[in-house]
Structure 1
Amino acid sequence: MVFPRGGISLRRQLLQLVLLHTAWEMGSGQLHYSVLEESQHGTFVGRIAQDLGLQVSELVPRMFRVVSKGRGDYFEVNLQNGILFVNLQIDREELCAKIPVCAVHLEVIVDKPLRVFHVEVEIADINDNTPFFPAKEELLLILESRLVGSFFPLEGALDADVGINAQLNYQLSPNEHFMLDVQKSGDNSLGLIIKKSLEREDIPVHRVVLTAFDGGEPVLTGTVHLMITVLDVNDNPPVFSQSVYKIQMLENASSGTLVAKINATDLDEGVNKEISYSIRSVTPPKLNTIFKIDPNTGQIRLNGELDYEGTNSYEIRAEATDKGGYPLSGHCKILIDILDVNDNVPEMLVTFLLVPVPEDSSLGTEVALISISDRDSGANGQVNCSLRPPLLPFKLVSTFKNYFSLTLVEPLDREQITEYRMVVIARDEGTPPLSASSSVVVPISDVNDNAPIFAQPTYTIFVKENNPPGAHIFTVSASDPDVAENALVSYWLDEKLWPLSSYISVHSESGKLYALQPLDYEELKLLEFQVRAKDSGLPSLCGNVTIQVFVLDENDNTPVVSQSVEEPPALIVIPVPSGHMLGKIRALDADSGYNAWLRYELHEGNSGPWRVGLYSGEISTTRMLDEVEDGGSQNVLVVVKDHGKPPMSATATLSVSLVANSQAIKTDARLPRTAGNAKPLADTANLYLIIAICSVSSLFLLVILVYVALRCQSEEKEVMMYGPGTATLVCASEVGSWSYSNRHSRILAGVSGETCPKSDLMVFSPNTPVFAVNRDVGNAKDLVPPSPGENEVAELLLQGGAVTISEISGQQDISMIKVNGIN
C-alpha cells in the first residue's frame, strides 16, 4: 500500500501549522512561529520585527539581538529587513525525541528603552524516518494442531517521528494460511491469525513478509520477514498470569533491584510443561541491556542506572517457552514508569544587558537577564530565585516562567561604591531541595556629577616686592572625586570683574600661579582674585577659590629729607639754656613698617653741644651756650637712617649762627630756615608764643598717645579693611608697636574690581609707656623705643580666630596675613 505525495495534503498540513500558531499566540501572549525540521539555512520563519511592532530602521540603533537558551544558534534575524530565518539545520528527533510538541525558546532584546520579548519557534515534524522492526527476520513455531483463528503475537515496528508521521499501518504479503490482526484499541497488539488449518506434511515452513506503513507524506515503509515453522505434537503453549504488567520505579534505584517477577503456566505434562523465560525486546531499543531476567524464576532485575530525564518509561516484551520437542511460547508485556527524584541541580544562565551601569541610571533599569532551568519535573523542577546580600540597590523581578531580571531599585553613587558583588541563588522545591548559585559583579560607571573642590575657600599668599618677572608664587589644587575625563581639572583666572592678565597668570594644567611683572609694595599692597577649576566632563562642572596676594615690603627706598640743606642758617640769641630746641629735621621714607621707621643720629664728625632726638629729629643743646665760648656759626650734620636690612640713609645739615643779644636782627629781617625744616626763631615775644603753642600741642599729643596706649592694651584688635573682608593687624616688639608715615597706596581686589585708596597709617602704642622728662626744661621728651630685636612678631587677630606669624625675611620685615573667616 503506497501513499502518494499530494499538494492538497501539504496545504492541509501548512494550514494546521498556521492555526496552531494563531492559537498559541492567543493562549500565551507570546510570539509563536513554526518551521519544518530539516529546513535549510536561510529558510523564512517570520517577520519578527513587524510582529513585535518594531521598525526595521531601529533594529541596529536599539541593538536588536536574539538569545537562544541552551538549544544552539538555530535561528538568526536579518537586521536589514527584520526577518527571522533558519541558521542551522534542525533534526527534530535529535532535539526533542518523542516529545509531542518540540519548540525552541528565544529571547529578543532591544535597548533604548530596554525590552525583552519571548518567542517560541515550534519545530514541525516531517516524515523523514522509516518504520523499522527490531529484527529483519522473525522465527515463529506453530503446531499444526492449532485451530483456525489462533492468534500469534508479532513484534510491531517503531517510527522515530511523531503524530501522523508515526501512525503505522501493517500489511501482510498474500498467502492462504495466515492473516494479519491489528488491535488499535487497548495495547495496540499485532499478530497473526490462522485462517486455514496447517498441514506440516504439505508446507513445513511458510515465508511471508510483514510491511509497516507510516501516515506521513510521502509514505515510508519498513519490512520484516516471517519464517513460520509448523510443528507437530506439543499443542499447549505457556500462558502468563497477566498479559500486561505495570511497574513504577524510582530513577535512583540501584543496579540489581528487582523490577518484576513474571509467571507463566503450561497445561502440558512432563518436559512440555517446563518453562524457560527470556526477554524478546526492550523499548527504547538502545537500552535493551538495562534489564536482565532469570530464565528459571522469571525475575527481572535492573542491570544499569535509570535516568528519568533521559527516558521516563520502558516497555519489555517477555517470552515463556516450554521445553517440549517442539517448544511452544507465551508472551507478555511489562510497562515500567520511571518516577522522578530530585537529582538535578538548577542550571543558571546570566545574560548582562547593561554593564557597566551608569551611576545616574533611572530606577527600574534592567541590568541583567537570568534564566534558570531544572531537568527534574513537578515540584523538583520548580525553582525559586533569591539575591544575596539582601541590602542591595538591585532586586530580582520575575518576568516569564523561570526568567528573572536584575532590576535597579535604588539610586547609585559611584563615588561611594564602584561595583556591586552579589550572589544569585536558585533553589528548587524538591525534597531535599537542591540549589545552585552564581556570582554576579555589576560595575558602576562614572558620570560627571561632582564639581572640582579646593581644600579651602580662600588662600593667602605673601610675595616680596621686586620679584623677578614670571616668578612662581603659589600652586592651587582642586580635587574631583569623579574619574577619567570627569576628574581631569584645568585652571584659569576669572577676569570677568577685573582684568588680571598683566599681573598674574595660572598654568591651566598644574595650577601654578606666576607673577608676570615685579610687584611694587608702594603701589600695590593686595591682589584679590578668583581662580576657577573646571573638569573635562560633559557637561563640565566648575569650582572656584579666592586668592589674596599680599605684597611684602622691602627696603628699597632711601629716606628723603623734606627740606634742602642750602637754606640760610638759623640765628640763635645767646645765652641759650641747656635742652633748648634749635630746630627739627623732617624726613619721609616711601617704604613701610621697619623699612620706613626712621631714626636720627648726629654725624660722627659733629662737634659742639648738640644732640638730636633719636626718633623725633629735634635738635637741642646739651649745655648752656654763652657768647664767650660758643659764639659764631656752626653746622650740625644729621644722618637719617631707616631700620631696613641693609639700612638706607640720608643726611641733613642745619646751619646755626649764635649771636649776642645786642646783635639781634630786626624783626622785619628775613628769617633763616634749617635744613631739617626747623621753625625759624624771631624775636623774644614770638619765641615765647611759639613755646606756648608747642606746649599746648605737646600736651594734646600726650593725651592722644596715652589714650591710644590704653586702648591698645584693653582691646585685642585694630581693624584694617582689605577688599571685601576685614583684618586686624598688631605689630609688637619688646617695648611696643611702631608707626610709619601717612601715605596713600592702592589695594587691588579682583573680586570687587575696584581700586581702593587707604591711609597707610600704623598707630604706635607702647606696651609700657615710657616718657623721659627734661627736668631743666619741663617738656616731654621723645618717646624712644629701643631698636627692634632680630625677630619681630606680627600678630594678626582675625574674625573668629587668631594667627601669629614670625618674620619671613629681613631684620624688620613684618609678615602679614589676611584670612576671611578661617582659623
Structure 2
Amino acid sequence: MWNQFFLLEEYTGSDYQYVGKLHSDQDRGDGSLKYILSGDGAGDLFIINENTGDIQATKRLDREEKPVYILRAQAINRRTGRPVEPESEFIIKIHDINDNEPIFTKDVYTATVPEMSDVGIIKTALLNMDRENREQYQVVIQAKDMGGQMGGLSGTTTVNITLTDVNDNPPRFPQSTYQFKTPESSPPGTPIGRIKASDADTGENAEIEYSITEGEGLDMFDVITDQETQEGVITVKKLLDFEKKKVYTLKVEASNPHVEPRFLYLGPFKDAATVRIMVEDVDEPPVFSKLAYILQIREDAQINTTIGSVTAQDPDAARNPVKYSVDRHTDMDRIFNIDSGNGSIFTSKLLDRETLLWHNITVIATEINNPKQSSRVPLYIKVLDVNDNAPEFAEFYETFVCEKAKADQLIQTLRAIDKDDPYSGHQFSFSLAPEAASGSNFTIHDNKDNTAGILTRKNGYNRHEMSTYLLPVVISDNDYPVQSSTGTVTVRVCACDHHGNMQSCHAEALVHPTGLSTGALIAILLCIVTLLVTVVLFAALRRQRKKEPLIISKEDIRDNIVSYNDEGGGEEDTQAFDIGTLRNPEAIEDSKLRRDIVPEALFLPRRTPAARDNTDVRDFINQRLKENDTDPTAPPYDSLATYAYEGTGSVANSLSSLESVTTDGDQDYDYLSDWGPRFKKLADMYGGLDSDKDS
C-alpha cells in the first residue's frame, strides 16, 4: 500500500525530509533492481535512492502553493534495462499546518439561519459568485457514516463546477478621448479611424453597438460596428470643407444590444467617449458660383456684344487667382469668347436663331499658380428671335379656273410659313401686289387665320384668249419690323365638266374648212409625220452605204439640224437601244421661251398630268397635240432631228423594211403608192371622216 504518502509543509530541519519507501516484491536485495521516479517535482523537489527506493523531499514545501504532487515509480532490471513491474502512480499530499492567521473583514458578523434547515445539499457560499473572477470550481465531497464518530468509514468524490456567463458587465472604453485626422477631399464612406470598447462578458453578451449621440459633426460623420473585431469604425458621411470647419467633436457611445433586466440595477450597460476629428487642407480646383449658367442674346446682336459673365474662386485659404477660357471642343466655330480675367462672355461672330437656337459650350476656370487645378461648368446660350425673315408660301401654288366659273368662286386656299418664331405667334396678311390689284381677274380674301383664298372676279373665262394668269400675292407678318414677300400663283384656264372637274387646259385648234373631224385631222397629221420620218431614214441609209459623211462642210450646217454621226455595236452594244442617250438632258428642264413665237403669258414649265381613265383615245391624242402646240420648250415646226444611228453585229442582220443594199444598184422604193387606202383606214380608226362631206 505505497500509492499515497503524506508530508508536512514548512519543514525546517537541516536534513532532507523523509517521505516514504518504494519496494517491489521482485527485489531480492542483491542490487539487481533499480528504482526510477518521475512526475511532479521528480529529481528536483523529490529524489529517490535507486537501490533502496527511499524517497526524500529536498526543499521546504507550502501546501497553499501546491497541496498534492502526482508521481510515477518503476522498478527495472539493471542488467537488461527492462521493467520488472508495470509503472505505478502515487501521490504525495502536503499536510496543512496552522501557518496563516485568519483576517476578518469586519469586527462583528451578524447572521441568522432558520432552524430545521436541511443538510446534505451543496449551496453557493457567496452571494455574488463572479465568472469573470473565476470560471471553474472543483469541490471534493466526503461522506462519513456513523455520524463522523471514530471507527466510521468514509468515501470521497470530486465535483467540477463551471459558471456560465450572464450579461452583468457593461462595455468600457479604455480611454475617454480619441483623435483622428482626415483630408477634406475624403469622399463619403471613407474610414477615418477605429475605436474599441472592452466587455468582460463572452459570446453575444459581449456584442457592442456604436452610435454618435451628439456633437458638431453629427450629420457629417457616421460610425459602424465591425462584427468580427467588435470595433467602431468612424466614416465620412458628407463632403468636408477645410475652409468652412477644421475640427469636429463627436460623442460616441458603446452599448450592449442584449441586456438582462435583472441586472439593470447595476446601472446603464453603455459607455461613451469623445472623438475629435481634424480636417486637413487639400489644394482644390476653382469652384464656380453656379452648377450651370443660362444666358440669352438677341440674334441681331453685333460682334463683341457682352452676353453675361461667370465667376469662380479658389476655395483654398490661399485664394489663388483664376483665369477663364472656353473649351473650343464645344465651340469649334469660335462664335463666343470670354475675358480671361473677369469671365465676361461676348460674341465673336454674328448669330442666326433660325440656324441654331441653343449654343451649349463649356467654360474652364484654371488656377494661375497651379494650372493642374481646373474645373468646368456648362454654359447654355439661347438666341432670342428677331423678325428678320419674311413669310413665304408654304408650297408652290399652281391651280386652275374653269371657263364657266362664276364670280366670287373660291379656286385656291393659300397658306404661308415663316422661319421666325414670334412670342405672340404668327399673324400673316395676304393681298394682291399693287401693280396687279387694279384690273385683275381675281381677288384675294384674307381669312385672318394665316390663310387666304383666291376668288374669281368675273363670270366666265376663255382659254383661247388667255390660258394662264400669274397672280403676285404679297404676304406680310405682324411683327416688328414688318417683313413681307411676294409669291406668284399660276392660274390656268381649263375646260371642265358639269361637276367642275378639269378636262383640258390648252386652247384647241380651229375647225378646218374642209369639214374634217378632229380625229381625222389627227390621223392625217400622224401619217404625214410618219412619211417624213421614213423619207429621212431612207436618205440617211443611202448616204451611209456610200460611206459619205452626213456633214460635208461647215457651210452645210443648219442651226436647227441635230445630227448623231455615230455607229453603235448592234445588239452587242446595249446603249444602241437606249433612246435616252439621244435626248438632251437640258431640254427637259430648260425653262427658256421659244424664239419663234410670242407667248400669251409668262408661266413656268410644268409636268402634264396623266390622262384620266375615263378619257377616250381621241381626247387623249387631242390633248397631247394641244400641249405640244403651246409648249414653249418644244422645238419649232421647221426643226429637223436626224438620228443616223445603226448598230452592227446583229445575228438577225437588218430588220429594216427598206432592206439593206450591198450593191450600188438602185432599188425600187415605190412602196408609197398604197398610202391612200392606208390613210383612210387610219382616219377611220380615229373618228373617221365627216359623214356629210366627201373626202
Q: TM-score, normalised by structure 2?
A: 0.29
Larger radius of gyration: 2
Question: TM-score if structure 1 supplies the norm length?
Answer: 0.25
